[in-house]
């Protein structure tokens, strides 16, 4: 394959389609087949189904090429998070910005068992994050845009500050995806994905992944995955890769829809705040009361009331219906995951719901 261009020299939408394929040789399938195998005939490189599977490797090669590092697939985003927090020694500090509730939950669980110390910071306040970093800090955990506040962090500045105190930096890139943001290029050490969301993109699979720049760190994480067994199923990895093939198109369309809806939402009288960071396909809006927000999320035809995000279909939910959601999140905040439908149909359905919510105010 020496005469083929290397994925790293290709642009992201080409990489999403072409990486992780069998060689262009007669009778090779275009896609890596699903190999349902708990074990392999002994004496080769594979040996056992907990160690490797062709569908994982194809997914990992594709995601790694997109993020500019070496990827490792996990059973879920949460399993990937657990593997990364396991890198942190006793009494080390994790400085974490606004993060997924499950991330905060794992940190709190570990803290309650004396495994780690957590410092929560506001990533929009760069100076405050820099002040929270010290020589005890093992890990800086960042998400940008934040969820559900949709604020943007100064990633290069925060990454540089963490490196100055010798801390590793994880960026959860689930919301932006490598189409819009490549944290390893900004200096981050590790990228985390809930592949459940945009990478797989069809609301039908739970999977996670990490991508690292340092191959020796990959070796550590791989040997722990072998040992602890937080592996995806072959079918899940195959589905996630199938979804990943259209990532660039989906992000392009969903982002264009989101930007247009954000613009129109600004003009609706019942919407008191619109939070759209100018990239991606998640928009948060605030309605005056939780009742009005519930009326919106329970009365639409196309928009589905559901948690999660990143599917082809548009979904939304009032975030404070979750007991663990931060108190700083307004009761009437609705997070929209904008899909790839026709924007006029999405707006008509949304506007009708907002009008009903306005009438109930």
Ligand X SMILES: *Cc1c(COP(=O)(O)O)cnc(C)c1O
Q: Name the site residues for ligand X (rule: CB under 6 A).
A: 76-78, 100, 102, 143, 147, 172, 174-175, 194, 196-197, 206, 208
**Least Å from the CB of residue 285 to ligand X:** 18
How far apart are CB 3 and ligand X at their closest, in Å? 38
| Number of neighbouring beta carbons within 10 Å of residue 45 | 7
Q: Is residue 134 annotated as part of the catalytic site, yes or no?
A: no
98: left (phi over 0), alpha (psi -120 to 50) or beta: beta
- Using alpha carbons, select from 221, 205, 209 the residue that is nearest to residue 174: 209
How far is Cα 291 from Cα 293, in angstroms, rounded to an integer? Answer: 5
Residue 319 to residue 130: CA distance in whole angstroms: 29
HSE-up (13 A, CA, CB side) for residue 301 = 8
Output 62 or 147, the one with its CB closest to ligand X. 147
Other Cβ atoms within 10 Å of 178 Cβ, number: 29
In the numeric block, the tokens 């999977």 are attached to 207
- Which position among 50, 119, 242, 245 bears the catalytic label? 50
For ligand X, the closer of residues 206 and 239 by Cβ is 206
Taking the least distance from each CB to ligand X, the nearer of 81 and 297 is 81
- Indicate if 197 belongs to the active site: yes
Indicate the residue among 197 and 320 with the shorter CB distance to ligand X: 197
- Kindly name the residue from 54, 61, 70, 100 that is annotated as catalytic: 100
Minimum distance of ligand X from residue 206's CB (angstroms): 5
Least distance from C-beta 348 to ligand X, angstroms?
28
Q: Which residue carries 């820099």 as its tokens?
A: 130
| Residue at shortest CB range from ligand X | 77
Output the smallest distance, CB 77 to ligand X, in A: 2
Choose among 147, 101, 153, 104: nearest CA to 130. 153
What is the Cα–Cα distance from 212 to 193, expressed in whole angstroms? Answer: 12
Catalytic residue among 54, 61, 172, 189: 172
Closest separation in Å from C-beta 279 to ligand X: 15
Question: Element (H or E) spanning 76, and its range?
Answer: none
Nearer to ligand X, 172 or 189 (CB): 172
Cβ neighbours, 10 Å, residue 108? 14
State yes or no: is 40 an active-site residue: no
- Told to judge if 131 belongs to the known catalytic residues of this protein, a careful annotator would answer no
Nearest residue (CB) to ligand X, 52 versus 174: 174
What radius of gyration do the chain's Cα atoms show? 21
Separation CA 274–CA 36 (nearest Å): 46
Q: Which of 197, 250, 275, 335 is catalytic?
A: 197
Nearest one of 343, 333, 63 to 193, comparing CA atoms = 63
Beta bridge partners of 335: 284, 317
* Catalytic (active-site) positions: 50, 100, 172, 197
């Amino acid at each position: 394959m020496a005469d083929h261009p290397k994925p790293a020299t290709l642009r992201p939408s080409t990489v999403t389609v072409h990486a992780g394929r069998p060689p262009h040789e007669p009778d090779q399938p275009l896609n890596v087949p699903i190999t349902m195998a708990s074990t392999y005939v002994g004496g080769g490189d594979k040996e056992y189904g907990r160690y490797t599977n062709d569908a994982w490797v194809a997914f990992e090669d594709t995601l790694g090429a997109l993020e500019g590092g070496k990827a490792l697939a996990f059973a879920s985003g949460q399993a990937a998070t657990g593997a990364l927090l396991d890198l942190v020694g006793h009494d080390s500090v994790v400085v974490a910005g606004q993060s997924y509730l499950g991330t905060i939950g794992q940190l709190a669980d570990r803290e309650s068992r004396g495994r780690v110390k957590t410092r929560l910071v506001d990533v929009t306040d760069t100076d405050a994050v820099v002040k929270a970093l010290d020589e005890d800090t093992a890990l800086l955990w960042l998400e940008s845009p934040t969820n559900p506040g949709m604020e943007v962090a100064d990633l290069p500045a925060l990454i540089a500050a963490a490196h100055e105190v010798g801390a590793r930096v994880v960026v959860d890139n689930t919301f932006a995806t490598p189409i819009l943001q490549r944290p390893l290029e900004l200096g981050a050490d590790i990228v985390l994905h809930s592949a459940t969301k945009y990478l797989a993109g069809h609301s039908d699979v739970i999977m996670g992944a990490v991508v690292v720049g340092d191959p020796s760190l990959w070796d550590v994480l791989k040997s722990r995955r072998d040992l602890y067994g937080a592996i995806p199923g072959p079918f899940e990895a195959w589905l996630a890769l199938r979804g990943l093939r259209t990532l660039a198109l989906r992000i392009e369309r969903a982002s264009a829809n989101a930007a247009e809806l954000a613009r129109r939402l600004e003009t609706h009288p019942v919407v008191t705040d619109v939070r759209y960071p100018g990239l991606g396909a998640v928009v948060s809006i605030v309605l005056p009361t939780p009742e009005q927000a519930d009326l919106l999320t329970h009365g639409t035809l196309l928009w589905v009331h559901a948690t999660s995000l990143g599917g082809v279909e548009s979904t939304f939910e009032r975030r404070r219906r979750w007991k663990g959601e931060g108190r700083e999140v307004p009761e009437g905040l609705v997070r929209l995951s904008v899909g790839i439908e026709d924007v006029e149909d999405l707006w008509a359905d949304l506007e009708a719901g907002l009008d009903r919510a306005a009438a109930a105010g």
